A and B are shown apart, each in its own frame.
Chain A
Amino acid sequence: MRKVYGSASEALDGLLSDDMLIAAGGFGLCGIPELLIAAIRDSGVQNLTVASNNAGVDDFGLGVLLQSRQVKKMLSSYVGENAEFMRQYLSGELELEFNPQGTLAERMRAGGAGIPGFYTQTGVGTQIAEGKEHKEFDGKTYILERGIFADLAIVKAWKADETGNAIFRKSARNFNPPAAMCGKVCVMEVEEIVPAGSLDPDLIHLPGIYVHRLIQGEHEKRIEQRTVRQRESA
């Protein structure tokens, strides 16, 4: 059974269809599956629903799929950095379902863990709670949120072995593990594929059972907000 593919488009071959639900890892532009996003753009697949914390910026990350009008609906917690997103949403061209960030992460984790719904206090008394089941536990009110079961997950890790056991780097882990877990199929892009046995099994962040196809590639890894401090003069 071969998991390693030669390119992003090869790895996505046969997995894309119009109207599908895709879960994507990444936070802002950090740890996003940029190669797979570009290959999805090139595929021309239409009417996508995408669950992702953010929507990239206008010309990078998921923003490129908004530019190309391939996205019908986003499930996100924060879209503040994307002017094209805001324009499409306010003009009614794009559907948007706001999810609190922790609820979105847990919806993915739950879906991947076979849990169709869970109760949370997050959002009680707000717009988010409208139309959702309310239930009291020990005197506190919670709302029912649904697990996400995505047709496809696209994620990015730092290193993986050829069986898909993966390690992430620093804060680029973010939504990648829960997104990977909730996909019926998960395609992962990494900076380096290493032979099985070269990663410490005790230090695997995401076991290869969640990863079905794997590619290695060059990543731009764009920085969204470059902030620095001055060196104290010697």
Chain B
Amino acid sequence: MKEEKLIISLHPHIQSAESVSRMMFITTAALIPAVISGVYFFGVNAVKVIVIAILSAVVFEAGLQKIMKREVTIMDGSAVLMGLLFALLLPPTAPWWMVILGVFAGMLLGKHVYGGLGSNPFNPVIIGWASLKLSFPSYFDISGSILGVTKVEGISALVEDYVYFSEQYGIESLESIGAKINLFFKLLLSWKPIFPGEPLIGCIGQISALAIIIGGLFLLWRRYITWHIPVSFLASIILFSILFKGGEFLYPYVLVQLLSSGTLLAAFFIATDPVTSPMTGRSMVILGILLGLIVMIGRIWGSWIDPIWFCVLVINAFTPLIDLIFKPKPFGRVKVA
């Protein structure tokens, strides 16, 4: 038989055009509305934090990979995404050294000590955030990782203060359906300063719920995330805030739980991180419900102002266990008697 230079390999001989870097860049693109809203409300400070975070993430990724003698993969977009997500969790007033330190902690302790992208048990963004929160609590408390938390006693007190809503959003009473819908849309668009005349405070990426929802829906449409975690997590937040709270101010309370703080960012971008979330839809639903539960417990009875990112870390630790318990049953398995 004549010799021909043909390649032999196992099927499949073709591949889909998807790749990890495409996944990362599309997710980064989905964050653009949140970036725009952050820049719109916080101006040049937000731009500064975002640029520093992204640049340092790329530099640290390349540097750490060089030191650890691994292939440098800054072009896969995961460093850019991590830097951007990290910046969105910070207040615009964060000083430059803190941003760099946080990115470094996230990169080293969250990602590269475990072996890089794909091996990390915890979300590196949250590792970075948590190390800053624990090391420099005062920088966070100035602006609060949630609206106005320094002025009122924790997140739940905010909504019981009718002055806030009536003065800032022009809603006198929440009796009528129209007023409820009105409040919903106003909160969806953005938050307002706690007191008139004071500067707006909050985190860059969390100021406009609508911007995050647009990005999340885009990801859902492109099928880079599935509905399981966002839906189960948000439903669980609603359910447990009703169960735990109830009472007169329930409606604005539930709205604040859903639309403020990192709830939406967690639902669409942080908890859905493929590496640290469970594998199957069923386990993802379980994770979403559990996350909602501990977030609500933490918010109502915890001592942190907003515990959501610590809750994400806790739930990341449970991911392997959830995966193990809810292993799918193979097709056509026969029970051996």
Are A and B genuine complex partners?
Answer: no
